[in-house]
Structure 1
Amino acid sequence: QRLLDDAVAAGGKPRIAIAAVESDEVTLYEVANHGIREVHQWTMRGGGKYVGQTNSDVRTSFLRNLGKDIDLQLGDDVPLILGGPGLARDQLMELMRAEGVSRPISSVATSIGGRPAANEVLAEGLAENIMSGHSLVKEIGLLEQVWRRMGTDGAVAYGEAELVLAMQQGAIEMLLITADLLRHEEASIGGRKWPDWLAELDAIGAEWLQCSTEHDSGAQLESFGGAVALLRFKV
């Protein structure tokens, strides 16, 4: 557990890695506070590092070799999550263990492969033993809560008029804002610069969180003007 905690606490380098595993393709992503970055992709379909016929022996060799590559790509203390819709992720984990890879590894089922699999791991809080405590997981979890409330006409606010009214009524519990909007010198709300307006949240016992747009939920936040709020009650 200490190894996981240290990996989560480490700064300036990838804190967690997610490999989206399919039977003939694996994509490795780094997860840091700023978002998700693709590191490398291996494929058996041609154009990648390992190419061959998709029989079981070749697939096993493919997974064994890329397992070694994945281990070399990552720092010693970076936990690895293997996600995907099939059984190849479990086979990859077994092969990596057989090769002596000792880093924390978790295998979780996702409904799809590729980058959407990495986003699903984050959005659904899969592999909680590794992901818990990671700031990006908290951020995405809060944004997913916003989208769920929007779908059920729940206590949420977005757009200048709604946010200003929610502030006036003390209804804001958590405000989520993109880093780009916060840094924009000309951006304002209620006739005030965003940093000045956010400073008033303390007076109503509210919090705010700066969000990355380098993941699906953050990109969706941009489409709502770059700021949304979870409310204590509807306004």
Structure 2
Amino acid sequence: MRVLLRDMKHGKIKLVAESLDDLWHLQHIVEPGDIVVSSTWRRERKKSDKTRPERLEKRRVTLSLRVEKVEFYKHANRLKILGIIVDGEDIGRHHSFNLGLGSILTVIKEWKPHLIHRIKEAVRSSKKPRVLLVALDDSSAELALVRQYGLEELGTIFFHGRGKRYAVKSSDEKEEFFKLVKAINEVIFREGIQKLIVAGPGFVKERFAEFLQEKFPELYQKMEMDSVSSGGRAGLYEIVRRGTVERVSKEDRLSYETLLVEKLMSEIARSGLATYGKDEVKRAASIGSIKKLLVSDKLLRSGQVEAILEEVRKTRGDVVIISTEHDAGRQLLALGGLAALLRFRM
């Protein structure tokens, strides 16, 4: 994400969405009641004497909408902002902005501290290396992109006639590796990946690394290798939990959120320095006990916890918004979407 204009006197910030992660951030930045200004397509309205109305051409216009609803379509790389036109043509009518990569918009609102922090984080994250994960075992390779909101699982490549019960010929394995490299290179080209993490149980990952070193030295230079207990989807999330992604990409958001939730669950299990649920967290905030407040992005959008957020900031606690697009975020949501790591017991 890039910031083109920042005019806090008038509550105005102009932004460019440069990635799918940026569109996800905007889903949580733009709220009902905000004014959003952007360029859009709209059909001309003309009076006609003809019985059968002619199809009107669309033309480019700049409109300001008072936002009613925001929808994020991650599989289509789109963000849809729906609202009522308050400036431009057809004031009072409904319209929607369909934003994609490269879209420019101005958001006018009363900016809360956590939203300003979110924009800064999105700008900083756009400069970090992008990471592709491969969980590799004897029978398959599972691929996933590391997004700021979680893992985007890209699919599975199955190795035919492979597995612990089958003897593997070197030539057959190389054919499967060529197939895997083709898939990896397609993702790297499409997404601009700078780092590749290959992990799994057993020795197949080492053989794949040797194959890359011999046949694809440039790809080998991008690769980091790690050991996990299983392949498949479970292997992907184990890579994240082990902190490998964080080490490779430096301060990776997904790893950070996952490790925080894991620490929370550990403290809760041993009745340690943690609490959850709105009433308990509110009480902890009132006595300055909260070190880190963990808030589900879904709960935050409901507007029910603003007072608690302000109380935590006053006592110099950190507020961390946790995405519900990944497993750790869904764990927090199961606890009510609100929890805290504490400085001292209540």
Q: Deviations over 1:134-180 (max 9, x none)?
A: 12211111111111111221110101221011011110000111111
User: What is the TM-score of this pair, normalised by structure 1?
Assistant: 0.83
Deviation of 1:22 (Å): 0.9
Deviation of 1:64 (Å): 2.8
1:116 maps to amino acid: A
Tell whether 2:271 aligns with 1:156.
Answer: no
Tell whether 2:330 aligns with 1:215.
Answer: no
Q: Distance in 2 between matches of 1:10 and 1:71?
A: 23
Tell whether 2:234 aligns with 1:116.
Answer: yes
Q: Distance in 2 between matches of 1:14 and 1:26?
A: 22
1:97 maps to amino acid: Q
CA 1:178 to 1:168, structure 2 compared with 1: closer, same or farther past 3 Å? same
**Ranges in structure 1 where 5+ consecutive residues have no aligned partner:** 1-7, 47-51, 189-193
Alignment of 1:122-133 (within 5 A): 122-126=240-244, 129-133=247-251
Q: Distance in 2 between matches of 1:175 and 1:128?
A: 21
Say which is worse superposed, 73-82 or 29-38, in terms of deviation. 73-82
Q: Distance in 2 between matches of 1:163 and 1:128?
A: 29
User: What is the TM-score of this pair, normalised by structure 2?
Assistant: 0.57
Tell me the residue number matched to 1:5.
none
Tell me the residue number matched to 2:96.
none
Tell me the residue number matched to 2:153.
38
RMSD across aligned positions (CA): 2.5
Q: Looking at secondary structure, tell me which structure has more helix per residue.
A: 1
Deviation of 1:208 (Å): 0.8
Tell whether 2:137 aligns with 1:19.
Answer: no
**Ranges in structure 2 where 5+ consecutive residues have no aligned partner:** 1-122
Does the Cα contact within 8 Å between 2:291 and 2:341 map onto a contact in 1?
Answer: yes
CA 1:31 to 1:128, structure 2 compared with 1: closer, same or farther past 3 Å? closer
Q: Distance in 2 between matches of 1:109 and 1:147?
A: 24
1:145 maps to amino acid: K
Tell whether 2:218 aligns with 1:101.
Answer: yes
Does the Cα contact within 8 Å between 1:33 and 1:135 map onto a contact in 2?
Answer: yes
Deviation of 1:55 (Å): 3.6
Q: Deviations over 1:72-109 (max 9, x none)?
A: 21144421111111211222222223223345211100
Say which is worse superposed, 63-72 or 175-184, in terms of deviation. 63-72
Does the Cα contact within 8 Å between 1:23 and 1:59 map onto a contact in 2?
Answer: no
Q: What secondary structure does 1:136 align onto? A: helix
Q: Looking at secondary structure, tell me which structure has more strand per residue.
A: 2
Tell whether 2:341 aligns with 1:226.
Answer: no
Q: Which has the higher contact order (CA 8 A, sep 6+)?
A: 1
CA 1:126 to 1:184, structure 2 compared with 1: closer, same or farther past 3 Å? same
CA 1:10 to 1:42, structure 2 compared with 1: closer, same or farther past 3 Å? same
Tell whether 2:200 aligns with 1:84.
Answer: yes
Does the Cα contact within 8 Å between 1:79 and 1:130 map onto a contact in 2?
Answer: yes
Deviation of 1:214 (Å): 2.2
Deviation of 1:42 (Å): 0.7
CA 1:56 to 1:30, structure 2 compared with 1: closer, same or farther past 3 Å? same
Does the Cα contact within 8 Å between 1:175 and 1:229 map onto a contact in 2?
Answer: yes
Q: Distance in 1 between matches of 2:290 and 2:331?
A: 20
Alignment size in residue pairs: 216
Q: Distance in 2 between matches of 1:119 and 1:83?
A: 11
1:195 maps to amino acid: E
Does the Cα contact within 8 Å between 2:199 and 2:205 map onto a contact in 1?
Answer: yes
CA 1:221 to 1:108, structure 2 compared with 1: closer, same or farther past 3 Å? same
The structure 1 segments of at least 4 consecutive aligned residues displaced by more than 4 Å after TM superposition are none
Tell me the residue number matched to 1:4.
none
Q: What secondary structure does 1:213 align onto? A: coil
Tell whether 2:249 aligns with 1:134.
Answer: no
Say which is worse superposed, 213-222 or 19-28, in terms of deviation. 213-222
Greater Rg, structure 1 or structure 2?
2
Say which is worse superposed, 77-86 or 167-176, in terms of deviation. 77-86
Tell me the residue number matched to 1:67.
181
